[in-house]
Structure 1
């Protein structure tokens, strides 16, 4: 039995990469502007910087999200619209941009999204990575609300597959947004 609510566990982890025909600085400028994420994200529709200097370490972003009924349809996850708050934890122009999802009280959770950028011949390699360690407060409620051990294992497997498809689609869309200007 896996205890998804303990420190040190990795519940979800996915990554996708693509070549982008643009300099690392241009790629960074695009992906670090979370307000534009609706142009490429599967679920985030954009949002607003609510505190701090936009895209700088310590800045907080409120994202507007939308999830349809098809995403792991049997699972008791949020459907429709919802918001999240995230804090930028790493912002290195041309190299890396990371943010973590916050609790309702504003504390950091082990839910980290990132873009890493490396120079490549003729452009850049963009990597989009997501890692969830200990369950977020929302997922903890789901896991405690009636999923048995088999249901939890099934959810982790199917949600990880959904996340993998999402990050793959996201990097493909970012490539198009940047290359088509």
Structure 2
């Protein structure tokens, strides 16, 4: 299984980040990594391979789509099932923004096109993007906006079957940081 991030500008920049399901399943069954609930998902940064790909910087007039892509052999090889992309969260971690000690109401609308029923700005400043009917979290940047650095999280879930036949849905999160700039193509 892999997480596919598709950045579309004048060119298309697809990135695939494979999830090491074998090691993830083993770690869940052998270790206590956390609750694995939506409230406290298990970090999977150590189980995702970046390879030569890096999380792309996001330019102006770009569409970003994130999708969880199971592969045919996943269910046969591991006792994992029913993968679901839960949501993507975006937080402004830029010092210029946060040193102002405020939550700017409507701030995200200056950077992203937030006119979608799948995009929600929470009162504490987090921007949530839920999957659309095709299972993708998608958002577009505006033509011009202030440069900033954001942290975004990709939350997904899987059902993992334990030796005794007990099945449980676990929630996981990947937390990269990326720069967004209207001065790039």
* Common fold by TM > 0.5: no
TM-score by length of 2: 0.27
Higher helix residue share: 1
TM-score by length of 1: 0.28
Q: Please say which structure displays the higher CA radius of gyration.
A: 2
